Amino acid sequence: MLTWQEARRYHPNQKGIHQRQGQILSICASFIEKKQKYPDQLLSEDLMIYIGEGGLTQPQPDSPGNLALKKAKETRAIFPVIAKWGKNQYEYLGKWQVIDWEYSPLQGLPAHYRFLLRRVEPPETEARMAKKIILSQESLQPRRAAFVTNRILRDTKVIQELKALYRYTCQVCHNRLNRGFGDPIVEGHHIKPLGHPHNGPDIPENVIILCPNHHALFDIGAITIVNSGFKLTHFQRF
Ligand SMILES: [Zn+2]
């Protein structure tokens, strides 16, 4: 955790969105539970919904901050993000991009901006890459390796049991893919990810069994499970 004094080197002001002349420079997402003024939401380690500025008591305006984030989708700007977890408790989350946004009233709230952000560079990768660039030109290697390891690690005992329970079929499309000789290709996905900062539990209620296509859609946040009712939702509908 960082104090504000340490965090401000990534995000120098106390506002959520830091922009200059329409260019996004950095943002601060707030994940303080119970304080629902800005209910930003981490969907996975690399994906979040960021609520635009202007509060939720009246329709959000096209403020300079909201306009800068809208523009960032077109320009594919990459910018640092810090998270606020509590009073004077911040975390640097690496570099992110706006991949989509919508402006609509939802859940009885006035119209507001919901920006879908994807992490393009975790903080640890950044540090490793800086080191690696000195050693060689293969600076992208660590990211690929990290991704593969991640998927293998997720095959927990709970996942193995659920795969068998669902007869190795995808819970979304009900397809069963085989490598040949009946050897199935199916993957387990933790809805609330294991490990920091989500600390999702490794229990059947937190796992969904998916084919690789639907797993990829979950991983990029195109589909997810909404908290109430166990319904499957596409990003553009929640
Ligand atoms: Zn599927």
Residue 148 lies in a domain: no
pLDDT at position 224 over 90: no
Cα 175 to averaged position of ligand 1 atoms, centre (Å)? 6
Do residues 164 and 233 share a domain? yes
Do residues 43 and 117 share a domain? yes
Cα 46 to averaged position of ligand 1 atoms, centre (Å)? 21
Nearest CA to 211 out of 179, 181, 159, 174 is that of 174
Q: Which pTM value belongs to this model?
A: 0.55
Cα 47 to averaged position of ligand 1 atoms, centre (Å)? 21
Number of domains in the chain: 2
Residue 213 lies in a domain: yes
Cα 217 to averaged position of ligand 1 atoms, centre (Å)? 9
Residue 66 lies in a domain: yes
Residue 133 lies in a domain: no
Residue 203 lies in a domain: yes
pLDDT by residue (tens digit) across 122-174? 887 655 555 554 554 444 444 444 444 344 446 788 998 999 999 899 998 99
Do residues 117 and 160 share a domain? no
Rounded to whole angstroms, what are the CA distances from 4 to 21, 59, 83, 87?
25, 30, 11, 9
CATH number for the domain that contains residue 47: 2.30.280.10
Contacting residues for 96 by C-beta, under 8 A, at least 6 apart: 27, 48, 78, 79, 80, 81, 117, 118, 119, 120
Residue 209 lies in a domain: yes
Q: Which one is predicted more confidently, 191 or 75? A: 75
pLDDT by residue (tens digit) across 19-48? 999 999 999 998 876 655 557 888 888 889
Residues 81 and 13: their CA atoms lie apart, in Å, by 12
Residue 63 lies in a domain: yes
List beta partners, residue 20: 23
Tell me what pLDDT residue 137 has. Answer: 43
* Calculated CA dihedral for residues 118, 120, 124, 129, nearest 10 degrees: 180
Residue 144 lies in a domain: no
Cα 98 to averaged position of ligand 1 atoms, centre (Å)? 26
Do residues 112 and 34 share a domain? yes
Domain containing 201 equals: 154-237
Cα 238 to averaged position of ligand 1 atoms, centre (Å)? 20
Cα 235 to averaged position of ligand 1 atoms, centre (Å)? 17
